[in-house]
Amino acid sequence: MQDVTGLPFMKIISEFGDPDLYFTEYFRVYEGSRLNPEILSSITCNPSSRPIFAQLLGESINEIVRVCRLLQGHSIAGIDLNMGCPAPRVFKKNVGGGLLKDPAKIKEILLAMKSVIQGRLTVKMRIGFEDDSNFFEILEILKEVEVDLLSLHTRTVLGGYRSIPDHSYVAKAVKFLSCPVILNGNVTSAQVAVQLREETGAAGVMVGRSAIRNPWIFRQIRELQNGEDIFRPSMNDLYEYVTLLLEALKKPDMNDARLVARSKKFLNFVGLSVSPNGEFLHFMRRAQTSRDLLDVCKRFMLEDGLSETFVSLEPYDHLVARPSQETCSLISKCST
Ligand SMILES: Cc1cc2nc3c(=O)[nH]c(=O)nc-3n(C[C@H](O)[C@H](O)[C@H](O)COP(=O)(O)O)c2cc1C
């Protein structure tokens, strides 16, 4: 996930329990674009032994081919095309989710990628732009091009991140395609992951926001699948995670205000399972310094008795994370 799941976060996830596969944040591809060094570091310094796929976001065939060749020199399992990003500044340029409006263009891009990629060619997409009218036409293209894996986020692009995902599209894709289909969208816990896999026939699940909230989720999925008791983190365990995270997010040239803003992006997700009445989010969003932030975390995660209080496995669904709005300058507009 852009600006979130870079190398510092990967290092932490890797300690708490790796997923089977990683996908990088997207490399934006345009005329003369270089490989963003920070994103590239998650490949060159991959802290896990798990395969990593490089994700691209773009539409110019020549430039995509050029960037695929650049990436070929690095240790990647394959290259993934982003056909899901819902940010208007992105889809208005007909990239990311915007590509779903133009199946012919998708075919051209994928055929060109296929001709240069030595590893696997994978696709991350939503079920459509505003509706599902192109869904089967696009699946037909993925089949024809022999894409190696599809990650399907079961919302439309205009559905953003909060519409209700419709996972029946995964079952349809599983039936239609011979490659593995990975289910994505609101996989909030190990129980949900296992249940959705069973219901849809997905080869696996992709977890985004809930991995930030609960970095133990991949370990828990494995435990549940193996019939073992799943690890239940206490509030103290959560505090340990948060301190590691805030330490990992520091950069030598970063002042405290930037560190606070960056940390809040993550704590917005963590906060969804801390206090049901939203108190943690309320105080966290008002913290001005990294010391204030840690004090808020201590209060909600370390105080007496919290070593025996479990973190909620599911997010409290009436609370909302607003990771891109929470900076000190926006405090007056913030509420839980
Ligand atoms: C902050 C943020 C950044 C994201 N960046 C990317 C990205 O770079 N590439 C991508 O394929 N999806 C990206 N996504 C979408 C997620 O991969 C995922 O499809 C979506 O959040 C739904 O899954 P979830 O409910 O498990 O979070 C991003 C989502 C968020 C919230």
Instruction: Say yes or no: CB of residue 224 within 6 Å of ligand 1.
Output: no
First to last CA, the chain: 23
The protein residue with its alpha carbon nearest to ligand 1, atom 19, reads: 153
Structural domain of residue 259, as residue ranges? 235-333
Backbone angles phi, psi at 39, to 5 degrees: -65, -40
Instruction: Say yes or no: CB of residue 153 within 6 Å of ligand 1.
Output: yes
* Closest approach atom of ligand 1 to CA 323: 1
CA of 13 to the centre of ligand 1 (A): 16
Report yes or no on 1 lying in a domain: no
- In this structure, the answer to whether residues 261 and 280 fall within a common structural domain is yes
CA of 308 to the centre of ligand 1 (A): 32
| Single residue among 167, 190, 225 that ends a domain in this structure | 225
- For residue 300, name the pLDDT band (cuts at 50, 70, 90): very high
The protein residue with its alpha carbon nearest to ligand 1, atom 23, reads: 185
Instruction: Say yes or no: CB of residue 84 within 6 Å of ligand 1.
Output: yes
* Closest approach atom of ligand 1 to CA 82: 11
Report yes or no on 302 lying in a domain: yes
* Closest approach atom of ligand 1 to CA 24: 8
Residue that is written with structure tokens 């560190």 in the block: 259
In order of 155, 186, 195, the CA distances from 128 in angstroms are 8, 17, 24
pLDDT in tens, 14-57: 999 999 999 999 999 999 999 999 999 999 999 999 999 999 99
CA distance 278 to 96: 33
Report yes or no on 319 lying in a domain: yes
- For residue 326, is pLDDT > 90? no
Mutational test site, ligand 1, from 1, 123, 218, max ligand atoms within 8 Å of CB: 1
The protein residue with its alpha carbon nearest to ligand 1, atom 10, reads: 1
Instruction: Say yes or no: CB of residue 55 within 6 Å of ligand 1.
Output: yes
- In this structure, the answer to whether residues 202 and 252 fall within a common structural domain is no
pLDDT in tens, 213-268: 999 999 999 999 999 999 999 999 999 999 999 999 999 999 999 999 999 999 99
- In this structure, the answer to whether residues 204 and 289 fall within a common structural domain is no
- In this structure, the answer to whether residues 94 and 162 fall within a common structural domain is yes
- In this structure, the answer to whether residues 163 and 46 fall within a common structural domain is yes
- For residue 331, is pLDDT > 70? no
pLDDT in tens, 187-209: 999 999 999 999 999 999 999 99
CA of 204 to the centre of ligand 1 (A): 16
In order of 130, 167, 324, the CA distances from 304 in angstroms are 50, 42, 33
In percent, the amount of the chain with pLDDT more than 90 equals 93
- CA 28, 29, 31, 34 torsion-angle sign: positive
Element counts in the chain: helices (H) and strands (E): 14, 7
Structure tokens at 128: 């459509």
Report yes or no on 2 lying in a domain: no
Mutational test site, ligand 1, from 4, 154, 209, max ligand atoms within 8 Å of CB: 209
- In this structure, the answer to whether residues 306 and 187 fall within a common structural domain is no
- In this structure, the answer to whether residues 183 and 205 fall within a common structural domain is yes
Backbone angles phi, psi at 26, to 5 degrees: -80, 140
Asked if 316 contacts 253 with a C-beta cutoff of 8 angstroms, the reply is: no
- For residue 332, is pLDDT > 80? no
Predicted TM-score (pTM) of this structure:
0.95
Domains identified in the chain, total number: 2
- In this structure, the answer to whether residues 148 and 37 fall within a common structural domain is yes
CA of 184 to the centre of ligand 1 (A): 9
Instruction: Say yes or no: CB of residue 280 within 6 Å of ligand 1.
Output: no
Instruction: Say yes or no: CB of residue 188 within 6 Å of ligand 1.
Output: no
